[in-house]
Amino acid sequence: QKEVEQDPGPLSVPEGAIVSLNCTYSNSAFQYFMWYRQYSRKGPELLMYTYSSGNKEDGRFTAQVDKSSKYISLFIRDSQPSDSATYLCAMKYGAQKLVFGQGTRLTINP
Amino acid sequence: GAVVSQHPSRVICKSGTSVKIECRSLDFQATTMFWYRQFPKQSLMLMATSNEGSKATYEQGVEKDKFLINHASLTLSTLTVTSAHPEDSSFYICSAAGRDTEAFFGQGTRLTVV
C-alpha cells in the first residue's frame, strides 16, 4: 500500500463547476499537508499548506484535512479553464521529505 | 511565496558528457533541498535529499556516482548528471525547504541527451 493515494484521473468538468480533489494516506505521523498545481513542463506551484484538521480557504480554493479519517481534499469553486493542470497532494512530518500523491490531471472545459 | 530558481530550464547534451543543474533559494535559507525526476504524465520521483554541509541521502535505486549532488551553502544546491545517456533524458526538479516550513519548487530542467 502506498503511503499516499490519489486518483490520477483524468478529471474533466465544465467551466464554473466545483471541483473536488482528494487524497488518502496511511501514515498517522504526517503533520503538514500541501496541495501543488503543476502545469505541463513546469515545476509544481504551492497552492495550499495546512498543518491541522479543518478547512483553510484562499480565494476560490479550500483545503480540507480530516486527520481522523486520514483524508484530505482540495475544492475549487467557480473553476476556470486556467485551472486546468495536474494537482498533487503532498504531506510530511517535521523536516522529513515530502511524500506525493500520484497527481490528478484536471481539465476545465470552456 | 518564496522563490526557488532553477537553471537551466532546458539543456541538450551529447551522450557521455556531464550536465550541471543549479537550484537556488533566492529569499530564504534552505536547510534541505530535494531533487526529483519526473517522467511524462507521472508524479515526482524523489532522487535524493541534501542538507547544507552534509552528504546527500539517495533514494533506493538512484546511483550516487551518476547523480552527484552538492549542497555547499544554504542557498545553493547542484545536481550533476555524469556521463549522461539517452535514458537519463527527463524532467528534473529541485525543491527547497527551510526548517519545518513548506517546500518550494524550482521551475524544472528538461534534459535531453542525444
Contacts of A18 (CB under 8 A, 6+ apart): A75, A76, A77, A78, A79
Residues of chain B with pLDDT under 70: 1-2, 100-101
Dump pLDDT digits (tens) for A13-60.
999 999 999 999 999 999 899 999 999 888 999 999 998 889 999 999
Mean pLDDT of chain A: 92
Q: Which three cell numbers stand for residue B51?
A: 542538507
Amino acid, single-letter form, for residue B38: Q
Cβ contacts of residue B59 below 8 Å, gap of 6+? B45, B46, B47, B48
H-run or E-run covering B11: strand B10-13
Task: Count how many pairs of residues, chain A against chain B, have C-beta atoms within 8 Å.
Answer: 51
Distance from CA of A90 to the nearest CA of B (A): 10
CB spacing of B103 vs A101 below 8 angstroms: no
